[in-house]
Amino acid sequence: MTDTDTETQHVVVYEHGIRSTRNQALLVEEPLSIRIDGNPYSVVMRTPGDEIAHTAGFCLSEGLVETYEDIATIGFCEQDFTNVATVTLTESRRKLVEPLLKRKGFVSQTSCGICGKEVVKDLQQIISPLPIKTRFSVKNIMACVNTLPEYQHLYVKTRAAHATVIFDNQMRMLAHAEDVGRHNALDKAIGKIFSKTQIESAVFVIMSSRLSYELVQKAARAGIELMVGMSHPTALAVELAASVNITLACVRGDRLTVFCNEARLFNHS
C-alpha cells in the first residue's frame, strides 16, 4: 500500500434505525498512460502504486516482451500528476513486435464490436498452449485460497479492491497485489516476479474476482498453469483457457468447481 492508494470520505451510516457518521477509506482510481518507444500505447485506470511492476507485467501480458531483457529502459513520472510510464524496447525486440505497436492495446482493451471466436483467434497468435508440468492437490489449493484475506489489506479498508496472489509449485507465495482493476492487480503481481526473473516459478494464481478472457490471456503469457477465482468465469474465459491448456477453477465456500483441464488436479483420499 502507498499513501496515495486511498483517500478518506466523511459518510453517514444508518444501521438498525440509528444514524451515525464516520470516516470511510475509499480506493483511489487514476489513469496511467503507458508509452512504448516514445509513443502512446494504452491508458489504464488503476490504483496508484507499483507502477514499474504494473508496466512490466502489462508489457509481458500484451506480448510486447518475452523476457525482462527485452526492456531497454522502464520508468515512471508522476510530476505534475502526469502519471506516465515509459518503456523503451531493445532494437531487436522492437522489430519483432512492430505489428503489435501499430495495433495499439488490442489485447488489453475489451471491444464490444468483436465476437468471441475472433478474440480467441487473435490471442492464440501470441499464446502457445501450456504443457502440464505441475499437478495440484485439491487440499493444497483450498489451503492457499484460505490465505487470500491475508493479502487483501486495501479491500479491508475500502471494500473495493481486487487481489491477486501468485504461488510456485511448492505453494509458496511469490507475489501479491491489489488494485481497483482485477486485470491491473494481475499485471502488477506478474510484473513483480517478471522483474525478479522468477516468472518460470509461477504456476498458480488466485484472484478475488471472476475470471474473464483477458485475465486468462495474461496468465497464459506468464506461463501460469492453474487459475482460481472467487466467482464463476465467463464462457469466453473457459474457451480460451481450454485452448491454451490452463486449468480454470472457482472456489465458493468449501466447493472447488473445475471448468476445464482437470488433469492437473488430484484429490487426497
Nine cell digits for residue 153: 489489506
Yes or no: say if 175 and 186 are a contact pair by the CB < 8 Å rule: no
CB < 8 Å & 24+ apart, contacts of 151-157: 151/176, 151/178, 152/178, 152/208, 153/1, 153/178, 154/1, 154/5, 154/6, 154/27, 154/47, 154/178, 155/208, 157/6, 157/25
Tally the residues of the chain: 269
Q: Is the dihedral of CA 248, 121, 38, 95 positive or negative?
A: positive
112 included as an active-site residue: yes
Yes or no: say if 202 and 224 are a contact pair by the CB < 8 Å rule: yes
Closest residue by Cα to residue 60 from 210, 216, 219, 201:
219
Q: Is 267 helix (H, G, I), strand (E, B) or coil?
A: coil
Residue recorded with cell 478474440 = 119
Catalytic pick among 59, 77, 112, 115: 112
Nine cell digits for residue 182: 482485477
Q: Is 251 helix (H, G, I), strand (E, B) or coil?
A: strand
Separation CA 11–CA 159 (nearest Å): 15
CA angle 122, 85, 62 (to 5 degrees): 15
β-partners of residue 176 are 165
Which active-site residues does the annotation give?
Answer: 112
